[in-house]
């Protein structure tokens, strides 16, 4: 093969793999199987090794700690991991019930469970210790993801009970709560990474990551729903679920015992709407014959057990009219198209808008104004357009064309090759970008300025009171203009000005995060601040210096250098410095970085007089401690403030977990 052919082949592989990744994560519509994807990725890796000169920096092989499936050890399942027959029809459930009655008579019960929308996992325990965690894979063999699964808080590494079989497998579903999904996805977007389409994909992508440290940062959860042993100590599935709870496993509290198919249907009807109140996604209900010997009698078909079935809820879908497409410009300059719809009721809420992601999605749907579109609300909170009802398209309808200029400031948009998102490059002159940057600066996770909110920033910008971040610190000179604004009383102005003044004490890492440098998220800002110590050194730092700091890869290092190359950013920093903001890591803070709490776990609960929970969390983590999401036997300390919930207290007492105050924590650090 000639060099040109090799290069072409490599480029084609990069394009194809990036497209598959996009289809999988953004559109949630995979166009290739995991195995085939891995084969192509391996082929690209092989070519890159042989021809490094043709390597594309955007190659999917270069995504550090990326979400792409790489090689894990393959493990044979001792008991195959079967899937379930499923149906959307109640009549099918009645037929299933009739088949069972015919086979085993009438004396049986069902267990009804929620069908969690995540990825299934098989955990092997030997002598009470977690030995292995394996994904479903093709059902007969899966990936060994033990180190990643060990980061999940409610999967016990060691069981307390002694009354347990020497060797057993327990199966369940790993998933991510919607709130964590929203938060982490927002962070991904802020860092310019592809957001995941739904919590299931996020959980699956996380379990298959190479770096367990990264996995530990993404909160996953797990419900267990089945036990496999040589000789089960239990007679029924229900009994087994109750006992598994006492062994220390997380079993869902919503499981129900049902005496017949009518009970099962009641359970299904109940969860049809209630499911939206859960903190996680379910996509149906699983029904299992309770008695193990009856299960054995019923046996299996080639693919499914005959003793279980799943009922799936239909994704709620409605048809409505696309009135127009608007474009939102975010603080990073990303331009996101939004479908404005004729308001319609869907899954209990009125839907007026749906996300269109980017130009590719508009192209994929071939949208025209006035189209009749099908909108779906699945697990995701923001509804999406599934497709267009072409039969209803008006003759002469105008095709939706993604703009080539910023709808807010008119600057020509740019799009990096291989990327799906268009950006407005006018970061210093495009109003929503400026407002977004100031809003980010004052936000809770950055400078946390009391008495200032997003709307106020918007108003101040429109009235010409602020143009850039440093203008916040001259607002006290404009008291008379502020008082003349509607909705602003003397008290609220005082409160705001005090909040701004107090923010001058916020540590360097928060200021750095607040500046909104692309790819510099909260964690990166912290590593940078402690790694480089002050702003002057950061401004002067070259690529190698930055790259040598933990977590600072090529993309982040380049973005920092580019940021400080712009004179307007240097002016901004100089002004903030002159106003008294923190631009170095104080001795005090450096002293706070220790490993005194390494190996210790904490839960923070209640209200504290001198510190917010966020601050206490930061202190614990920067001294090597770990925060757990709930109280379990693995917890070392409950950091208790005022007004703590009684149930937490009771649980901690039951498990003999020591309660400590904020003072006790600081004593531990001395």
Task: Return the active site residues.
Answer: 115
Alpha-carbon distance of 635 to 640, in angstroms, equals 13
- Are 243 and 159 contacting, i.e. CB atoms less than 8 angstroms apart? no
| Contact stretch for ligand IVH (CB under 6 A) within 111-119, 368-376, 451-459, 473-481 | 111-119
User: Least distance from C-beta 70 to ligand IVH, angstroms?
Assistant: 22
SS3 content of the chain, % helix, strand, coil (to 5): 40, 20, 40
By C-beta, is 222 or 286 nearer to ligand IVH?
286
By C-beta, is 120 or 320 nearer to ligand IVH?
120
Alpha-carbon distance of 36 to 147, in angstroms, equals 25
User: What mask, x for binding ligand IVH by CB under 6 A, covers residues 305 to 324?
Assistant: x--x-x--------------
Instruction: Determine, following the binding rule CB under 6 A, whether residue 203 of this chain makes contact with ligand IVH.
Output: no
Question: Residue 595: CB partners within 8 Å, gap ≥ 6?
Answer: 623, 624
By C-beta, is 48 or 281 nearer to ligand IVH?
281
| Contact stretch for ligand IVH (CB under 6 A) within 35-43, 197-205, 304-312, 646-654 | 304-312
Alpha-carbon distance of 199 to 281, in angstroms, equals 8
User: Least distance from C-beta 279 to ligand IVH, angstroms?
Assistant: 16
Alpha-carbon distance of 154 to 244, in angstroms, equals 13
Select from 44, 56, 108, 115 the one that contacts ligand IVH (CB under 6 A).
Answer: 115
| Contact stretch for ligand IVH (CB under 6 A) within 36-44, 78-86, 445-453, 622-630 | 78-86
Selection from 80, 75, 78 nearest residue 305 by Cα:
80
| Contact stretch for ligand IVH (CB under 6 A) within 42-50, 112-120, 459-467, 619-627 | 112-120
By C-beta, is 288 or 510 nearer to ligand IVH?
288
How many CB atoms are located within 10 Å of the residue 630 CB? 13
User: Least distance from C-beta 209 to ligand IVH, angstroms?
Assistant: 20
| Contact stretch for ligand IVH (CB under 6 A) within 14-22, 79-87, 232-240, 514-522 | 79-87
User: Least distance from C-beta 148 to ligand IVH, angstroms?
Assistant: 17
User: Least distance from C-beta 226 to ligand IVH, angstroms?
Assistant: 5
- Are 354 and 382 contacting, i.e. CB atoms less than 8 angstroms apart? yes
By C-beta, is 142 or 333 nearer to ligand IVH?
142
By C-beta, is 172 or 432 nearer to ligand IVH?
172
| Contact stretch for ligand IVH (CB under 6 A) within 15-23, 76-84, 409-417, 646-654 | 76-84
Q: What is the CA radius of gyration of the chain?
A: 28
- 3-state SS class at 536: helix
Range 272-301, binding ligand IVH (CB under 6 A): 286
By C-beta, is 145 or 424 nearer to ligand IVH?
145
Exposed, middle or buried, 63 (CB in 10 Å: 0-12/13-18/19+)?
A: middle
From residue 287, how far is each of 27, 114, 250, 569 by CA, in Å? 30, 9, 19, 60
By C-beta, is 168 or 513 nearer to ligand IVH?
168
| Contact stretch for ligand IVH (CB under 6 A) within 113-121, 235-243, 260-268, 395-403 | 113-121
Instruction: Determine, following the binding rule CB under 6 A, whether residue 120 of this chain makes contact with ligand IVH.
Output: yes
Instruction: Determine, following the binding rule CB under 6 A, whether residue 379 of this chain makes contact with ligand IVH.
Output: no
User: Least distance from C-beta 389 to ligand IVH, angstroms?
Assistant: 31
Range 211-250, binding ligand IVH (CB under 6 A): 225-226
Angle of helix 431-442 relative to helix 454-462, nearest 10 degrees?
140
Question: Residue 9: CB partners within 8 Å, gap ≥ 6?
Answer: 1, 47
Please give the backbone phi and psi of residue 338, each rounded to the nearest 5 degrees, phi first: -125, 130
- 3-state SS class at 561: helix
Size of the site for ligand IVH (CB under 6 A): 15
Strands (E), 248-334: 256-258, 282-289, 308-312, 316-329
* Closest residue to ligand IVH, based on beta-carbon distance: 120
By C-beta, is 99 or 183 nearer to ligand IVH?
99
User: Least distance from C-beta 114 to ligand IVH, angstroms?
Assistant: 6
- Structure token pair of residue 146: 């033990």
CA 93 remoteness from chain centre: 35
Select from 27, 82, 655, 660 the one that contacts ligand IVH (CB under 6 A).
Answer: 82
Between β-strands 637-640 and 601-605, what pairing exists: parallel, antiparallel or unpaired?
parallel
Select from 56, 169, 173, 281 the one that contacts ligand IVH (CB under 6 A).
Answer: 173
How many alpha carbons fall within 13 Å on the CB side of residue 74? 8
User: Least distance from C-beta 117 to ligand IVH, angstroms?
Assistant: 7
| Contact stretch for ligand IVH (CB under 6 A) within 6-14, 82-90, 328-336, 346-354 | 82-90
Instruction: Determine, following the binding rule CB under 6 A, whether residue 83 of this chain makes contact with ligand IVH.
Output: yes
CA 293 remoteness from chain centre: 41
Range 148-167, binding ligand IVH (CB under 6 A): none
Please give the backbone phi and psi of residue 280, each rounded to the nearest 5 degrees, phi first: -135, 170
| Helix or strand run (H / E) with residue 241 | helix 237-247
| Cα angle value 414/567/522 (rounded, 5°) | 70
- Are 161 and 94 contacting, i.e. CB atoms less than 8 angstroms apart? no
By C-beta, is 261 or 286 nearer to ligand IVH?
286
- Structure token pair of residue 535: 């702003």
Select from 116, 202, 508, 602 the one that contacts ligand IVH (CB under 6 A).
Answer: 116
Range 518-557, binding ligand IVH (CB under 6 A): none
CA 126 remoteness from chain centre: 32
By C-beta, is 116 or 202 nearer to ligand IVH?
116
Range 392-421, binding ligand IVH (CB under 6 A): none
Alpha-carbon distance of 399 to 600, in angstroms, equals 59
- 3-state SS class at 612: coil
User: Least distance from C-beta 386 to ligand IVH, angstroms?
Assistant: 22
Q: Which long-range contacts (CB under 8 A, 24 or more apart) does 490-498 make?
A: 492/451, 495/450, 495/451, 496/449, 496/450, 496/451, 496/452, 496/456, 497/451, 498/450, 498/451
By C-beta, is 312 or 533 nearer to ligand IVH?
312
User: Least distance from C-beta 236 to ligand IVH, angstroms?
Assistant: 15
- Are 362 and 402 contacting, i.e. CB atoms less than 8 angstroms apart? yes
Range 590-629, binding ligand IVH (CB under 6 A): none
Exposed, middle or buried, 406 (CB in 10 Å: 0-12/13-18/19+)?
A: buried
Select from 10, 47, 84, 524 the one that contacts ligand IVH (CB under 6 A).
Answer: 84
- Structure token pair of residue 39: 């084969």
Interface residues with ligand IVH (CB under 6 A)? 82-84, 113, 115-116, 120, 136, 173, 225-226, 286, 305, 308, 310
């Amino acid at each position: 093969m000639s060099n040109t052919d090799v290069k072409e082949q490599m480029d084609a592989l990069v394009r194809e793999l990036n497209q598959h990744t996009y289809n999988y994560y953004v559109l949630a519509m995979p166009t290739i199987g995991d195995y085939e994807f891995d084969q192509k990725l391996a082929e690209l890796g092989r070519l890159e090794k042989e021809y490094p000169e043709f390597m594309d920096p955007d190659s999917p092989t270069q995504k550090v700690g990326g979400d792409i499936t790489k090689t894990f050890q393959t493990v044979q399942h001792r008991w195959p991991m079967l899937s379930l027959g499923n149906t959307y029809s109640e009549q099918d459930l009645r037929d299933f019930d009739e088949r069972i009655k015919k086979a085993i008579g009438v004396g049986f019960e069902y267990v009804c469970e929620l069908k969690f929308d995540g990825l299934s996992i098989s955990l092997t325990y030997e002598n009470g210790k977690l030995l292995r965690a394996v994904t479903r894979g093709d059902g007969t063999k899966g990936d060994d993801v033990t180190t990643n699964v060990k980061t999940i808080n409610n999967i016990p590494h060691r069981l307390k009970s002694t009354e347990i079989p020497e060797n057993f497998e327990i199966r369940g579903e790993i998933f991510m709560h919607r709130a964590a999904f929203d938060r982490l996805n927002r962070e991904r977007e802020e860092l310019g990474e592809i957001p995941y389409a739904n919590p299931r994909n996020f959980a699956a992508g996380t379990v298959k990551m190479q770096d367990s440290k990264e996995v530990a940062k993404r909160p996953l959860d797990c419900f267990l729903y089945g036990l496999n042993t040589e000789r089960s100590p239990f007679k029924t599935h229900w009994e087994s679920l109750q006992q598994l709870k006492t062994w220390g496993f997380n079993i869902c509290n919503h499981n129900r015992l049902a005496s017949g198919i009518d009970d099962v249907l009641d359970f299904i009807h109940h969860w049809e709407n209630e499911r939206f109140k859960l903190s996680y996604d379910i996509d149906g209900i699983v029904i299992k014959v309770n008695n193990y010997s009856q299960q054995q009698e019923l046996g299996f078909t080639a693919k499914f057990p005959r003793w279980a079935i799943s009922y799936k809820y239909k994704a709620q879908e409605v048809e409505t009219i696309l009135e127009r497409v608007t474009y939102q410009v975010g603080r990073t300059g990303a331009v996101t198209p939004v479908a404005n719809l004729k308001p319609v009721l869907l899954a209990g809420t009125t839907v007026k808008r749906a996300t269109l992601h980017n130009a590719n999605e508009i192209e994929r749907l071939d949208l025209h104004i006035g189209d009749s579109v099908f909108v779906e609300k699945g697990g995701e909170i923001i509804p999406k357009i599934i497709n267009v009802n072409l039969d209803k398209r008006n003759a002469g309808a105008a095709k939706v064309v993604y703009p080539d200029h910023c709808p807010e400031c008119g600057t020509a948009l740019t799009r990096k090759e291989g990327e799906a998102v268009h950006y407005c490059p006018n970061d210093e002159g495009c109003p929503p970008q400026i407002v977004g940057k100031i809003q980010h600066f004052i936000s809770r996770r950055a400078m946390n300025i009391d008495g200032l909110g997003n709307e106020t920033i918007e108003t101040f910008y429109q009235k010409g009171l602020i143009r850039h971040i440093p203008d916040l610190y001259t607002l006290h000179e404009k008291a008379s203009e502020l008082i003349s604004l509607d909705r602003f009383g003397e008290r609220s102005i005082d409160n705001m000005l005090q909040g701004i003044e107090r923010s001058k004490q916020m540590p360097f890492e928060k200021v750095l995060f607040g500046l909104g440098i692309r790819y510099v998220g909260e964690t990166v800002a912290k590593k940078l601040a402690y790694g480089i110590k002050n702003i002057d050194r950061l401004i002067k730092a070259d690529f190698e210096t930055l790259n040598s700091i933990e977590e600072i890869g090529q993309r982040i290092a380049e973005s920092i250098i580019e940021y400080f190359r712009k004179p307007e950013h240097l002016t901004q920093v100089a002004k903030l410095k002159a106003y008294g903001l923190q631009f170095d890591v104080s001795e005090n803070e450096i002293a706070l970085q220790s490993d005194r709490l390494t190996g210790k776990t904490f839960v923070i609960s209640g209200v504290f007089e001198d510190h917010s929970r966020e601050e206490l969390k930061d202190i614990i983590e920067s001294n090597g401690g770990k925060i757990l999401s709930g109280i379990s036997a693995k917890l070392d300390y409950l950091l208790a403030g005022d007004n703590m919930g009684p149930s937490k207290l009771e649980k901690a007492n039951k498990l003999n977990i020591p309660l400590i105050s904020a003072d006790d924590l600081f004593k531990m650090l001395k």
